[in-house]
Structure 1
């Protein structure tokens, strides 16, 4: 990594093209940062808006469910305090007589009429303790012969008093049987005692089962997409209705980091409504915007590199060519001339360099010629000064040779 930075620093300090490219990229950095920040901010805004919109929608549906529960509880109060129904249950004993059958048929008719008033009611049942009979609008009349069933109702009567309890269908009433199996239902059931205002009341029990499909339809209207999920839970977190509750799932799935979760609680019933949605569905538009931003950033980088190359070829390359020509001329290559096809300022500079090189070459040649002429003149002057001396010496030598010859001849004579 360090050699790479050294190489990059070397190129940066020596190459104008590298510096131009880096400068253009530095100019793009604020734009890239702002673009990425805008995309992230848009994702945050979309997420907050989705949470707020879902929260308002869930609150509206939860208010509707609370009103439904209030209505169901008021219906249960009317049934549990109906004097005629209470008297009918109290006067019948353990033996199944014709009069009891007639009374139970009348009771069943009244319960059916009451159930038709509210479409959120799936079935209304009354447990007659004396005869262990379960009178229901769905299954008619049926005797509960199991001892665990009677024990469960007995414990309920001893603990609930005049209050209301919502029983889940998966609650155990026997070792191998649930409340839903006993009542033949898969939905939550409101359970309370009959003859509320009588402290000496018999342990007869009223059971009102809510329509799970109606509850599911009410909450499924909030689903923003098929991949989203919505779940209605009681105060203990047990699933009452939900998009995964129809296949036997009794618990709300745990949300992952890739899912949006919005939960609204009811101050009246303590129930909770939870919406889960994949975040990628929220960010589809912002992801497209992010993709466009990435494409724009990539195109901008390519444009920056391309513009730096264009600027380099338009400005830096002529400068580099001039610099190279000057180096060659300075090294003594006097015949260096730069090709010029430009008509701008750089063309003028290149023409000026070529003219300067020609002028400099002529000056150098003229200087050398002048120096040669000066040297030749000085040489000729020296020759002119030296030649008389050589003539005198030659004349002396010739005179001496003649005298020597005469003396030699005289001696011979």
Structure 2
């Protein structure tokens, strides 16, 4: 012992620990440096992508406002009954009555539904229709007049300079429009959407729509805070004129900055310049962002990288001590097998031919893996059976109470001797229940579900006749997918029970593919749902309102998961939109879907 001490004997485990630590520390430093540089570049790129995405969202909000303005004239453009009246009317009492009882109320109704202050000028070729307008002093801004519209004769435009210079592209029906700054628009900082009014049958020009909107209303979403507190946002028209500037800089230092100046500012590497073009208007949305925003998160990454490297070095030191003391091939085999089980491979087994403690550990490990695999299988099957039972219970709760109403309608048709309609309703009812029963299957083709709701609406059309208007908009691709049955009929039935607005109701049923999902929409123009009732419908713990809606929502969530279901959008006096989302599952693959 004295000899060993005098020669300063160093045990092998300490040499292993020292060499392990040295060779582990160097990779940590190298990997940390590479990771830091890569992370900084990735964060800068991600930040730039996020900022670009935010700029795109601002642009899309502006486009949405454009579409709102466009929809104002589109409601008149697509009113076929109004076209017929305007083309057939002659001078006299009928033109006055139509103007008073149909045209003016229609214009008033459309203007009341508009969310922005606009001026709608409707120019009509048929001069048998009397003009309706208010004060037309060109020195007064009439856009801010509430619900302002003017009904004018087309001949007023004959000597108008702005109309003579106007160039509206001639395309298919509904797309003959142009955004221009005409007449007094420039003086009052406004813009006009101008579109032709074309006869659907002859293709002849009926008139012209001009919708005037404040530029400030179109650009009120342009806010630099959405990009960053120190950023600046600019909007320029197609001539390079600045329309809006948003920044937290003191004063108006950005007002009047030209588009070319922004390009020069961005060249000095102190700013990032992003740009998006606003369609139709040919405006440019430009963001000027200090590079300090991009580098701000890089400082945090640097600190985190240093901390992680220090922690990694400490852990490696501890692991070196552990490995140097307990290095063993059998231990490595056990660790490897345990890691495999941790990853979900419960078929992993360890075999030792010795009769020591390692053999006992191996036997216990093998029994544990076998038991865990069996228990997981039992729990999975039990949960699956439970969800299937819950789904069937919810399915059985659907109340087809329209059967009573349909039989009553059949009885009335028989009393009045309307045998053809009686036959149609009986055949429709038989077809509806054939599709509903569907041989007891819960999962059906989307085409069957759409056919079932169409059959239901055909029965209701016989009952309500011209009071009910139905539009279908089905994307052909959706027919090759599957769905759970009876998710559309309860909602169209709700519309017919609760949504009547006067003696007429319009319903649109649509089915589309969006982002890997099948999206159904039931849209009506009925009375709508007030916020209090809407909250009660969506509140599962409150007052039990909207049972049918929640029934469909729960059936979808049980079958496909919580990311799918029913969403309601409604405004009193305007109507309601029901959106139903399910995943895209092709026919023949529904059995592979994991609940």
**Structure 2 length as normaliser, TM-score?**
0.31
Bigger share in strand = 2
Work out which structure has the larger RCO, using CA pairs closer than 8 Å and 6 or more positions apart in sequence. Answer: 1
Q: TM-score, normalising length from structure 1? A: 0.42
Bigger Rg, structure 1 or 2: 1
Greater helix content = 1
